[in-house]
Amino acid sequence: MDWVRIAFHFNELSKTMKVKTRFAPSPTGFLHIGGVRTALFCWLFARHHGGQFVLRIEDTDRERSTQESIDAILEGMTWVGLDWDEGPYYQTERFDRYRALADQLLEQGDAYHCYCSPDELDAMRAEQVAAGQNPGYDGRCRQRTEPVAGVSPVIRFKTPAAGEVVIDDAVRGQVVYANSEIDDLVIMRGDGTPTYHFSVVVDDADMAITHVIRGDDHLNNTARQVHIIAALGFERPAYAHLPMILGEDGARLSKRHGAVNVLEYREQGFLPEAVLNYLVRLGWSHGDQEIFTREEMVRLFELDGVNASASRFSPEKLTWLNQQYILQTPDAELVEGLLEQYRRLDVDTADGPQLSAVIAAFHERAATLRELAASSVYVFHDFAEIEPKAAKKHLRGVVRQPMADIREALADLQPWAEEGIQSTIQAVADQHELGFGKLGQPLRVAVTGGGVSPPIDVTMALIGRDRCLARIDAALSVIDKRVAAAGR
RNA sequence: GCUCCCUUCGUCUAGCGGUUAGGACGCGGCCCUCUCAAGGCUGAAACACGAGUUCGAUUCUCGUAGGGAGCGCCA
């Protein structure tokens, strides 16, 4: 069966030659989340086989390539920790090489100059579509012998007119194209720069790429590239075309789908490990396993676990995974990222408890570092006012006396620690014949300004004695005002 | 329009001829509980449709439908 043959072919390739993959983004924007998934699979495959991973910047389109984009790509790759062994290479530094090979094709008779104008080409395509044909260049300049004055010609590759191309793809199986469906594509622009189809082929060969792993939007392109490879006498790499990642609505991922720039996830308080773990499960699986360490991913990743159908991006699941990672990551490793989030919130953490203690107390109720920071601000800064709803519900006359008793006992508590705080509250509750919760919640509101926090003893231990006493005093006066108002 | 690819719960997926079709996210319920979480248990929820092949199809083949991609002097 074809499948078996293809799988065998892949295994043999991996064994006999050193595996080398590449990620080749074009610097026309930020590093896309879909691009990261592609890079991840390339990286995993290389690492799994003890091979090399190359980063190549495809910047032949000088109109749209920017240094800013290059920086964003490098920063994004670094953030998620997909390290490369070679590169980054830049295609703009290799123009001489492309020109030389284009000349070679010209001499061989596998390419020719084309003088057609854009208008002429448009008209031709319109006609073809009207006639129900697959639009494509009809090769009208193949026979031309005389240059056209004033036109700097492009170079087109001469695609075989008859026959077919067969591509063995590691995820698609065998895909066949009739050559009649493939037109003569432009390989060199009028200005002497190469086009994508030409530069990829040359670079992949020059850089000895063994496995081309890329998005399946390139599947159709592969047929044309394979012809160029043959004409140049290069060896064909193995191919694996990955399914696309769609937005939540099933449409292609784009800016309107929120965060598509990886670096935005960093800003939102996601951990790179969580992002990678989420992405690896989009189009790849290993039985029922959901959580993979980086080492596990490298050890378990294989192309035969990659499926063929497109998947949708689910922010909910990413968020869940991120929380799992926040829960599992040693507190100390979270400190740096958390500090960055406090900085964004303008929170000064100098006057407060150790951040690792804050993390330990808050991590099970925060899905992102951003949430973790935002929900713990009161540990470092006083709040402007108590949430009205929480105050109304819990700061009542009945808790005035017990709360005052607690305040008094707490003032002398030694040491200021969870156990003592807990037993103090319990003692006062017992004394007033109240359940712990009857006092815990009002205290929480007094001390945090809201109704949600870690356990009250933990929370108060973190906030510190001085702040707690002052806030309880403030709450007591809120109660007093309220009682007075009610009594009037 | 033409060519190619894809199709299991709402979503991500397991399954590789015979299963009560499994797991995860999300959603509902219960437990735990000083709040909120986390955690545990639990419930609802899927093989797009139609023909074949076969003793037997979610699984293999072919159609149909739906979705995606490509068809540039973009990558």
Instruction: State residue A488's pLDDT score.
Output: 67
CB proximity A216–strand B (7 Å threshold): yes
Q: Which amino acid is at A200?
A: V
Q: How many residues does chain A have?
A: 488
Q: What is the pairing mode between strands A211-215 and A164-169?
A: unpaired
Spans in chain A with pLDDT lower than 50 = 1-9, 11-14
Residue A435: how many other CB atoms lie within 10 Å: 9
Measured between alpha carbons, how far is residue A303 from residues A2, A60, A267, A330 in Å?
A: 16, 30, 32, 32
- A360 exposed, middle or buried (CB, 10 Å; 0-12, 13-18, 19+)? middle
User: According to the model, what pLDDT value does residue A16 have?
Assistant: 55
Cβ pair A22, A58 in contact under 8 A? no
Q: What is d(CA A354, CA A462) in angstroms, rounded to the nearest whole number?
A: 9
The secondary structure of residue A243, as a DSSP letter, is P
Within chain A, how many helices (H) and strands (E) appear?
A: 20, 12
Q: Which of A191, A110, A117 is nearest to A148 (CA)?
A: A117
Q: Which nucleotide is nearest to A312 (CA to C1')?
A: B11
DSSP states of A348-379: --SSSS-HHHHHHHHGGG-SSHHHHHHTTGGG
pTM of the model: 0.93
A15 has catalytic annotation: no
Q: Which residue is nearest to nucleotide B2 (CA to C1')?
A: A134
Strands of the sheet with A20-23, listed across from one edge: A20-23, A52-57, A86-90
Residues whose CB is less than 8 angstroms from the CB of residue A10 and which lie 6 or more positions away in sequence, other chains included? A170, A238, A303
Dig out the tokens for A147 from the structure.
Answer: 């240059």
Question: Which of the residues A15, A20, A158, A255 is marked catalytic?
Answer: A255
CA atom of A367 to C1′ atom of B18, Å: 44
**Is the distance from CB of A306 to CB of A172 less than 8 angstroms?**
no
> What does the alpha-carbon distance between residue A206 and residue A146 come to, in Å, rounded to a whole number?
34
Q: Is residue A426's beta carbon less than 7 angstroms from any atom in nucleic acid strand B?
A: no
Chain A residues 230 to 259 with C-beta below 7 Å from nucleic strand B: 243-244, 246, 250-252
The ipTM value here is 0.96
Neighbour tally for A309: CB within 10 Å:
7
Of the candidates A190, A157, A200, the residue with the CA atom closest to the CA atom of residue A59: A200
Inter-CA distances, A232 with A17, A179, A235, A327, A457, Å: 21, 18, 9, 54, 74
Determine if strand B comes within 7 Å of the CB of A121.
yes
CA neighbours closer than 13 Å in the CB half-sphere of residue A446: 29
Q: Does at least one atom of strand B sit less than 7 Å from the CB of A190?
A: yes
Q: Which of A109, A202, A103, A197 is nearest to A158 (CA)?
A: A109
**What does the pLDDT read at residue A6?**
47
Cβ of A415 near strand B (distance < 7 A): no
Q: Residue A288 and residue A301: Cα distance in Å, rounded?
A: 14
- CB-contacted nucleotides of strand B (7 Å): 1-8, 10-15, 22-26, 34-39, 67-75
Annotate A442-456 with DSSP letters as a single string.
Answer: HHHHHHHSSS--S-H
CA of A278 to C1' of B43 (A): 27
Question: Residue A115 has which token pair?
Answer: 């003088």
Distance of alpha carbon A103 from alpha carbon A120, whole angstroms: 25
Confirm whether any atom of chain B, the nucleic acid strand, is less than 7 Å from CB of A457. Answer: yes
